[in-house]
């Protein structure tokens, strides 16, 4: 089963009150799961990774084998694709956790998308901090 995952994390203040949002859809675009939760006080980049790892854990439980991840976090996508180094010590454990979760899928595609194409995950994250 192939799953399409959109993720977004935000922090009001950076660091500040943070939240995550994600959707998991099938190949036909049917929404199978939504994630929207406040995660406390942290940075925007940590929230981006938390959104990803939370969605990956859910996708594993759903039995996903192939995944496509769509995120508007250029930093996270480029780090996961090996184009950027992990310079912030606080991101390293989250990067390693994401890698461990990603290794459980048969195939993985991670793609950066413009923010305007990630509106549903963004809305879910924003709803969680209200």
Chain mean position to CA 35? 10
Domain locations in the chain? 2-128
Q: Tokens for 5, please give them.
A: 């995952």
CATH topology of domain 2-128: Nucleotidyltransferase; domain 5 (3.30.420)
pLDDT of residue 130: 78
pLDDT of residue 114: 98
What is the SS3 assignment for 23?
strand
Give this prediction's pTM. Answer: 0.97
Residues 108-121 as b/e (b if ≥16 CB within 10 A, e otherwise) read eebebbeeeebebb
Query: What would the pLDDT profile of 35-51 be if each residue is shown by its tens digit?
Result: 999 999 999 999 999 99
């Amino acid at each position: 089963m192939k799953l399409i995952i959109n993720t977004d994390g935000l922090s009001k203040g950076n660091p500040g009150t943070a939240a995550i949002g994600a959707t998991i859809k099938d190949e036909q675009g049917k929404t199978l799961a939504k994630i929207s939760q406040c995660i406390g006080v942290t940075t925007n980049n940590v929230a981006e990774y938390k959104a990803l790892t939370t969605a990956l854990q859910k996708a594993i439980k759903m039995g996903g084998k192939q995944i496509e991840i769509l995120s508007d976090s250029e930093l996270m996508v480029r780090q996961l694709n090996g184009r950027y180094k992990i310079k912030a010590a606080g991101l390293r454990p989250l990067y390693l956790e994401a890698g461990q979760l990603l290794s459980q899928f048969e195939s993985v595609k991670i793609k950066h998308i413009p923010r305007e194409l990630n509106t549903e995950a963004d809305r879910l994250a924003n709803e969680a901090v209200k």
